[in-house]
Amino acid sequence: MGIRSFEVQKLVGVTLLFLIFLAGFPGSGGAVKPGPTSTGEPEAFRKLWAPVAGLRFFATPTSEAVPMKARVYRTSFFNADTQYIWCEMCLNTKAKLDHPVSLIMWVTWQRADGTESNQSLVFTIPPDLPKPCLAGRWQDNRPGGWLPGSYRVTIQIDDIEVASGNFEVFQKFFKEKLDQGSENHPDQ
């Protein structure tokens, strides 16, 4: 019986070694499969094959959007002329979809003094739209409205930052002084 038990132990040991060899040694990394790699893209972007083409800003006196051809894009605005500032994020889609794709954007507007306002925007992108541009507006409702300084806009989708940009707001006083200065120097 001693020999048979030795053979069984040897057979069990060889089997265990074989199984360990097939599975890989712990910590060696050979058999450890890495988790799914994140592309750093939101799920909707993967469906659309849509990188961000750009983020632009424009202003309107009312809450109504103007047609794209009538928009004047800039990164500086005068506080007296501006009621609403819009951010517009355009995508380059490569997908040919047969159904619309929903997209939820979280937009953070950081004021010149560091305070923030947030908004959630929901868009439905129709199929076969090669370059959708998604726009959201913001009106600074604090007393004095748009205070002079630098503002920053950050857009997140699925908790991933996909675009950010800056714009400046100036006081109308500076524009009037500049205009007066150019009147004194007609050759400028």
The reported pTM is 0.66
**Mean pLDDT (the chain, rounded):** 74
Question: Quick one: pLDDT at residue 25?
Answer: 37
Q: Which residue has the higher pLDDT, 145 or 19?
A: 145
Q: Which amino acid is at 8?
A: V
Q: What mean pLDDT do residues 133-144 have? A: 84
Q: What mean pLDDT do residues 29-42 have? A: 42
Q: Where are the domains of the chain?
A: 43-177
Domain 43-177 CATH assignment equals 2.60.40.1930: yes
Q: What is the pLDDT of residues 50-87, one digit of tens each?
A: 778 889 999 998 899 899 999 999 999 988 767 899 99
- Count Cβ atoms within 10 A of the Cβ of residue 84 and give its class: 0-12 exposed, 13-18 middle, 19 or more buried: middle
State percent of the chain over pLDDT 90. Answer: 31
Q: What mean pLDDT do residues 157-162 have? A: 88
Q: What is the pLDDT of residues 100-132, one digit of tens each?
A: 888 889 999 999 889 999 999 998 888 777 788
Do residues 155 and 116 lie in contact, with contact meaning Cβ atoms separated by under 8 Å?
A: no
4: helix, strand or coil: helix
Give the C-alpha distances (Å, rounded to integers) separating 9 from 12, 21, 104. 5, 18, 61
Of the candidates 17, 94, 29, 88, the one whose C-alpha atom is nearest the C-alpha of residue 55 is: 88
- Count Cβ atoms within 10 A of the Cβ of residue 123 and give its class: 0-12 exposed, 13-18 middle, 19 or more buried: middle
* Residue 16 pLDDT > 70: no
